[in-house]
Amino acid sequence: MATAFKCGTDQLKIKPAPLNIPKEVQKRRAANAFTPIKIKADYTSFTKTGSMTTETLEKAKKLIDETISEFNKLLKVQHVDNDLEGEEDTFKKGCGLNKLPSDFKNLLNDYDLIVFPSFDQDLSSNVLAAATFCIFNPNTFQPYAGNLYINPSISFDKTNTDIYMKQILLHEMTHI
């Protein structure tokens, strides 16, 4: 019996946290033109689980990067540089992270959205992936960061896995 895809977003426990952006920065946003969204996956916390091979981990990263590349072609946004000085705890708590990338303070200067992928042991067996935004602007509700969870029991070795998983991940990115 084939397992049908079921989105696990309704099972996530992350509660998004607002990031207060100064009014003068928000005013600059209105003057900016719409450009293709720039999304970065941060793999600081993306590690193997259980008996997962390095090859499987790298294949998952490649699929995530390819999915983000496709997603970058779909949306246009107004980019505004955001200074994240002093916001480390907001990101750690809001996104459930233990550590942040070394270039954390400048992430939202170069990108519109940061995605933190991870393998989630808590996803039920019939959920392949789930995602949610975890940091957002409280005035505009624009997401700045999100969590992308992948079920670690997924086999990336099956025929057409790449195509299927990219579609799943593209769907999950829309939750962010």
Q: What is the pLDDT of residues 63-108, one digit of tens each?
A: 999 999 998 998 888 777 777 777 888 888 999 988 888 777 778 8
Instruction: Classify residue 149 as exposed, middle or buried by CB count within 10 Å of its CB (0-12, 13-18, 19+).
Output: buried
- Rounded to an integer, the average pLDDT of 137-148 is 88
- Rounded to an integer, the average pLDDT of 18-42 is 79
Q: Under a CB-based contact definition with an 8 Å cutoff, are residues 9 and 129 in contact? A: no
Length of the chain in terms of residues written: 176
Band of pLDDT at residue 126, cut at 50, 70 and 90 = confident
pLDDT at 1: 46
pLDDT at 31: 64
Q: Per the structure block, which two tokens stand in for 149?
A: 């969870």
Q: Under a CB-based contact definition with an 8 Å cutoff, are residues 16 and 135 in contact? A: yes
Q: 3-class SS at 175? A: helix
User: What b/e sequence results for 51-79 when a residue is b if at least 16 CB atoms lie within 10 Å of its CB, and e otherwise?
Assistant: ebeeebbebbeebbeebbeebeeeeeeeb
Question: Phi then psi for 147, rounded to 5 degrees?
Answer: -105, 135
pTM assigned to the model: 0.78
pLDDT at 4: 61
d(CA 126, CA 37): 31
Q: What is the pLDDT of residues 155-167, one digit of tens each?
A: 777 767 788 888 8
Q: Under a CB-based contact definition with an 8 Å cutoff, are residues 150 and 128 in contact? A: yes
- Rounded to an integer, the average pLDDT of 108-117 is 89
pLDDT at 42: 92
Q: Where are the alpha helices (DSSP H) in 78-145?
A: 88-95, 107-110
